[in-house]
Amino acid sequence: MKNLRRKPKMLLRLYSLVILIVDLVTLLFGIFFAILIALYRIFRPPPLKSLRGEVAMVVGAGRGIGRELAIHLCQLGVNVACVDINIENCGNTVQLASKSLGIAKMYICNITHKDEVAHTVNIIQSELGEVTMLFHCCSIPSPRALVQDPPEIRHTIDLTILSHFWLLDTVLPCMERAGKGHIVVMSSVAGLSGAATGGKRVSLSTAQFAVQGLAESLHTELRHSNSNIIISLVHVYPFIVGAEVAKDIRFRIPSYFGTMPAAEAAKQILDGVRRNYAEFSVPGYLLYLGHIFRILPKKASFMLRDLLDTGVDFG
């Protein structure tokens, strides 16, 4: 009688073991093919999608990468809402961008205020249509903040992290109504490897890690909801600057690191966005360098960071 009772339990355990083995084999094959496809895409990247007719909201369009993104988007036939807190800078961006195919309009907004963000998005929606693309360019610390004193902690957190939530609260419904969307989250490479900071700059590095976590969580949530909204996380090297601050930055390996014009950075960002990459960096090799930092033992990682030290207390 006992043998008869044990037999169903043994069969159940054997069945569970077989299912587990099948699941593991399926998983390994899936990972293997995903790696093969990723390697293939390095040499044969996906084609660039057309952005003509999209409505893009570029936050931080007054200068730097934000300005260049707005100009490049207009050249691609995108209607661009240039959002910034500085009227003069934003106005100059609109003048430059308006010379292209798309439409560019200025919207002055402090994105750290939830109600102000909601009001601005409603105006954009009524004037340009449903927002289908969002570029948040205020998360990247400026080179001046890296060589001089950074902003105080509360402002850093509000501008870099909380503003994303206020924007997503109002922009995501627009994208859901439009049936499509692309959210581009930009972070410094400090979100990949941390920063060799002094005490005053810890908040900058912490904020970059938080931005990366936000993008990954949002990507997971939208993937499980079968949404047509795409998330792109872009890691940007801090020294995308002009000649005016290059003299303040010392490079240990000048041929390896260097400054990059904002126009070139914007072109590389849009290339990655138009290929629907989930995560990439500018320059591209820094994404792999950040992954190496994570794999190596801490002591070895610190040694590599010391070798690549730029002369500024930021990684």
Q: Which long-range contacts (CB under 8 A, 24 or more apart) does 273-276 make?
A: 273/182, 273/184, 273/232, 273/234, 274/48, 274/49, 274/51, 275/45, 275/46, 275/47, 275/48, 275/49, 276/46, 276/49, 276/182, 276/230, 276/232
- CATH code: domain of residue 69: 3.40.50.720
Most confident of 193-202, 205-214, 295-304: 205-214
d(CA 148, CA 250): 14
In a domain, 274, yes or no: yes
User: Quick one: pLDDT at residue 293?
Assistant: 72
Does the pLDDT at position 197 exceed 50? no
User: Quick one: pLDDT at residue 311?
Assistant: 47
Segment 177-199 shows an average pLDDT of: 73
In a domain, 14, yes or no: no
65 close to 261: Cβ distance less than 8 angstroms: no
User: Quick one: pLDDT at residue 39?
Assistant: 82
d(CA 236, CA 233): 10
181 pLDDT band (50/70/90 cuts)? very high
314 pLDDT band (50/70/90 cuts)? very low
Residue among 217, 197, 213, 216 at smallest CA distance from 205: 197
Q: What are phi and psi of 138, to 5 degrees?
A: -95, 0
User: Quick one: pLDDT at residue 132?
Assistant: 95
185-222: b or e for each residue (b if 16 or more CB lie within 10 Å)?
Answer: bbbbbbbbbbbbbeeebebbbbbbbbbbebbeebbeeb
In a domain, 40, yes or no: no
* Predicted confidence (pLDDT) per residue in 110-155, tens digit: 999 999 999 999 999 999 999 999 999 886 655 444 445 555 778 7
Segment 68-97 shows an average pLDDT of: 92
Q: What is residue 225's DSSP assignment?
A: T
In a domain, 127, yes or no: yes
Stronger pLDDT, 4 or 187, i.e. the higher one: 187
pTM of the model as a whole? 0.80
Segment 163-173 shows an average pLDDT of: 93
Looking at the DSSP bridge assignments, the partners of residue 105 are 81
| Burial class for 148, CB neighbours closer than 10 Å (0-12, 13-18, 19+) | exposed
Stronger pLDDT, 156 or 302, i.e. the higher one: 156
d(CA 294, CA 70): 34
User: Quick one: pLDDT at residue 84?
Assistant: 93
165 pLDDT band (50/70/90 cuts)? very high
209 pLDDT band (50/70/90 cuts)? confident
Helix or strand (DSSP H, E) at 13: helix 2-43
Stronger pLDDT, 291 or 222, i.e. the higher one: 222
User: Quick one: pLDDT at residue 35?
Assistant: 85
290 pLDDT band (50/70/90 cuts)? confident
Segment 164-192 shows an average pLDDT of: 88
Stronger pLDDT, 248 or 103, i.e. the higher one: 103
Q: What are phi and psi of 276, to 5 degrees?
A: 60, 35
Stronger pLDDT, 72 or 202, i.e. the higher one: 72
258 pLDDT band (50/70/90 cuts)? low
User: Quick one: pLDDT at residue 106?
Assistant: 95
In a domain, 193, yes or no: yes
Residues constituting the chain: 315
| Longest distance between any two alpha carbons in the chain, whole Å | 89
In a domain, 295, yes or no: yes
Domain that holds residue 119: 52-308
In a domain, 227, yes or no: yes
Does the pLDDT at position 97 exceed 60? yes
Most confident of 2-6, 157-161, 169-173: 169-173
Residue 6 corresponds to which amino acid? Answer: R
d(CA 41, CA 148): 40
**Strands, DSSP E only, in 51-174?**
55-59, 79-84, 104-108, 133-136
Number of domains into which the chain is organized: 1
71 pLDDT band (50/70/90 cuts)? very high
In a domain, 298, yes or no: yes
d(CA 129, CA 131): 6
Percent above pLDDT 90 for the chain? 36
